[in-house]
Each structure stands twice: as C-alpha cells, then as structure tokens.
Amino acid sequence: MKGEKKKKIVKTIKVDADKCNGCRACEVVCSAFHAAPKYSSNNPARSRIRVIHEPLKDVYLPVYAGEYAPAECAGRDKYTIDGKEYDECDFCRASCPSRDLFKEPDSGLPLKCDMCEDDPPQKEPLCVQWCLNDALTYEEREEEVEEEEVEREKLEIGLESLANEYGLDKIIDTVARMSQKG
C-alpha cells in the first residue's frame, strides 16, 4: 500500500561553467561553513564543491559532491565541449576510490553537498552567494513525493552531519550500544 504524499522542495544549482574564472570563493566558503566549529578554518579539500581547474586547457568546471560510490566504474566518459577536452571523471560527482576529490582529508569520510543544511536557514546556498561571477544560480521547485522518501532524506542528512562531527565509527558504536539496551 502506498503511503501519503508530501510536498518536497527540490533544490537545484545551475552551473554556467563559461562564467567561472576559478577564483575558488565557493570552495572557501563551503569548507569554512562545514568546519567544526563553523567558520573556524577553511580548507578547500573539505569543500563539497570543487573547481576542476586546468588553465592551459581553459577548463574551469565547478562540480558538486554527490553520492558515495564504494568502487570505481568499469568504464569512463571523456567529453569535448566547445573544443575543450575534459579529463575522464571531470563531470562525475561521486566520492569514489579513484581520486581524492570529495573525501574529508583527515577521516577519509565521503563528502556530499547538503545545499548548506537548513540550520540556520540560508536564503541561497553559500557557494551561490559567494560566486560573484554568476556561474552558480540557485533554483527551487516543489514536488509531491511519498512521505517515507522525505523522512528517509531527513534521516540521511542528520546522520551525515553527525558522522562529520563524530566520525562514522563512533556513530555505529553508539547505535550498536543503543540497540543492545533495547
């Protein structure tokens, strides 16, 4: 039996790579926002948006961290767009074993864009606010989805921020102890 329908806000950031000049302001603000405590440091390696930056090929490509992939793909894509040749995996958003991108540098935990969580509520994601070249544009739309999907996403976001703060092992230990209690 299907569950109840619920409204869900779908957040999208449109990327216009032609407007990106590689200034990396988006990486700086994202990593600072996700530092613990917030804004205590900035390190682009911790950012959930990374700019693929190859000046000699005139390539500046902002890419958002997406889902974790436990294994490398068997096949790769290579794109040429407007005469610019992009490397394999440049457009891929996965945190996967084939590269260092989208991994927390100390713990190795995968990083994923959370559109800046909802606490405190942001008018727009921070990277969009800080991109002075309008390479990033924020859009929202409403969709009707199953209630369980909304709840599952909320749970995933909550667990991810706990894992970022305390490390995945501690979270797993704590859940195991709680389930023993019972």
Summarize as ranges the residues that interact with ligand SF4 (CB under 6 A): 20-26, 29-30, 48-49, 51, 62, 64, 113-116, 125-127, 130-131, 133, 135-136
64 contact partners, CB below 8 Å, separation of at least 6: 13, 48, 49, 93, 113
Find the shortest distance in angstroms from Cβ 40 to ligand SF4: 16
Contact assessment for residue 138 and residue 16, using Cβ atoms and an 8 Å cutoff: no
> For residues 18 and 72, which CB has a smaller minimum distance to ligand SF4 in the complex?
18
In the block, which residue shows the tokens 């457009």? 91
Find the shortest distance in angstroms from Cβ 156 to ligand SF4: 14
51 contact partners, CB below 8 Å, separation of at least 6: 20, 22, 24, 26, 27, 60, 61, 62, 63
Residues in the chain: 182
> For residues 91 and 146, which CB has a smaller minimum distance to ligand SF4 in the complex?
91
> For residues 94 and 126, which CB has a smaller minimum distance to ligand SF4 in the complex?
126
> For residues 22 and 167, which CB has a smaller minimum distance to ligand SF4 in the complex?
22
Q: How far is CA 150 from the centre of its chain?
A: 18
Find the shortest distance in angstroms from Cβ 135 to ligand SF4: 4
Find the shortest distance in angstroms from Cβ 39 to ligand SF4: 12
